[in-house]
């Protein structure tokens, strides 16, 4: 079992199946088994939130890519470093965080995988896919480590004046 | 589900029917080994049947690209057949849809190598 600790704030029931009642957070070892666990949790989470199959696929894929980055690039499979994950349904958005304890990542330094000179590169598409498949992606430096916050809006963000109907 | 690969020949084309996931740790290495094995044996026409591939991640995309470029460097071709909606989605987002020759029916794919 890769889970080394878990915590569900205010949880009286499983927050993945009743996501609006709590925030599930847990810490995992830096292994591919942990990636599989995060992916499975994301799948359960998005389905409970009512996302359709296509939306769920995109969110789950983004979460998996973030977990792979944390285990592989962030922590480098170091058994002394952990990956933290949290899932929260605020009612308006799905908010997922994935954090590692690595040396940090500056997203500004990542090459554009769509640029002609990079299109045939074998790597460098993970963060791009995460950004493509979610509504918001935020990076936070933890010193040490990087935390990614992935946000999928459940309701359209109302533009200014959108509610002014005649 | 890990990746399984079945190999068959048709009209001078080697078809790899892939089934499962092409992801880091679950299928990327098998795909790489299978394609490199064919290229090392001098196979020039390779068609990857992806009709039963329900998931590909960035690592799997990287392997598809590597298969494509390795083949090109050896004077061989790797083409794709029967993309599932999810794989097509990912290839379109990453613009790799424009890189590969992609077919929806096998006969057209086989004919394209001639």
Going along chain A from its start, the domains and CATH numbers come out as 26-83+93-153 (3.30.565.10)
Pairing of strands B4-10, B13-22: antiparallel
**Residue found under tokens 């299109």:** A119
Q: Please state, in angstroms and rounded to a whole number, the distance separating the CA atoms of residues A83 and A95.
A: 17
Interface of B with A in 82-101 (CB under 8 A): 85-86, 89-90, 93-96, 99
**Which chain B residue has the Cα nearest residue A68?**
B24
Is residue A77 within 8 Å of residue A71, measured between CB atoms? yes
Tell me how many residue pairs between chain A and chain B have CB atoms under 8 A apart.
51
- B1 near B25, Cβ under 8 Å? no
Name the nearest CA neighbour of B50 among B70, B74, B96. Answer: B96
In tens digits, what is the pLDDT along chain B, a chain of 114 residues? 589 999 999 999 999 999 999 999 778 889 999 999 999 999 999 999 999 999 999 999 999 999 999 999 999 999 999 999 999 999 999 999 999 999 999 999 999 998
Strands laid side by side in the B4-10 sheet: B4-10, B13-22, B45-56, B77-81, B102-103
Residue to mutate among A61, A70, A110, with most B CBs inside 10 A, is A61
Closest-approach residue (CA) in chain B for A55: B86
Provide ipTM, 2 decimals: 0.90
Domains of chain B: 4-112 (3.30.750.24)
Among B85, B93, B99, beta carbon nearest to A129: B93
């Amino acid at each position: 079992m890769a889970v080394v600790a878990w915590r569900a704030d205010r949880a009286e029931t499983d927050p993945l199946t009743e996501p609006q009642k709590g925030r599930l957070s847990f810490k995992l070892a830096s292994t591919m088994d942990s990636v599989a666990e995060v992916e499975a949790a994301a799948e359960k989470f998005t389905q409970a939130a009512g996302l359709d199959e296509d939306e769920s696929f995109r969110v789950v894929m983004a979460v998996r890519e973030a977990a792979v980055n944390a285990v592989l690039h962030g922590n480098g499979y170091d058994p002394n470093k952990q990956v933290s994950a949290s899932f929260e349904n605020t009612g308006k958005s799905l908010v997922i965080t994935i954090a590692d304890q690595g040396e940090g990542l500056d997203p500004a330094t990542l090459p554009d995988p769509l640029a002609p000179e990079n299109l045939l590169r074998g790597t460098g598409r993970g963060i791009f896919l995460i950004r493509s498949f979610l509504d918001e992606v935020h990076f936070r430096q933890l010193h040490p480590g990087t935390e990614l916050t992935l946000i999928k809006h459940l309701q359209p963000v109302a533009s200014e004046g959108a509610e002014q109907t005649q | 589900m890990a990746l399984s690969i079945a190999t068959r020949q048709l009209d001078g084309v080697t078809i790899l029917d892939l089934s499962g996931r092409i992801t880091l740790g679950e299928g990327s290495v098998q795909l790489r080994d299978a394609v490199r094995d064919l290229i090392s044996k001098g196979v020039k026409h390779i068609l990857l049947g992806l009709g039963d591939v329900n998931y590909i991640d960035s690592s799997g995309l990287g392997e598809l690209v590597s298969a494509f470029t390795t083949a090109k460097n050896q004077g061989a071709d790797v083409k794709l057949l029967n993309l599932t909606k999810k794989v097509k989605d990912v290839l379109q987002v990453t613009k790799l849809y424009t890189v590969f020759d992609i077919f929806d029916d096998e006969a057209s794919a086989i004919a394209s190598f001639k």
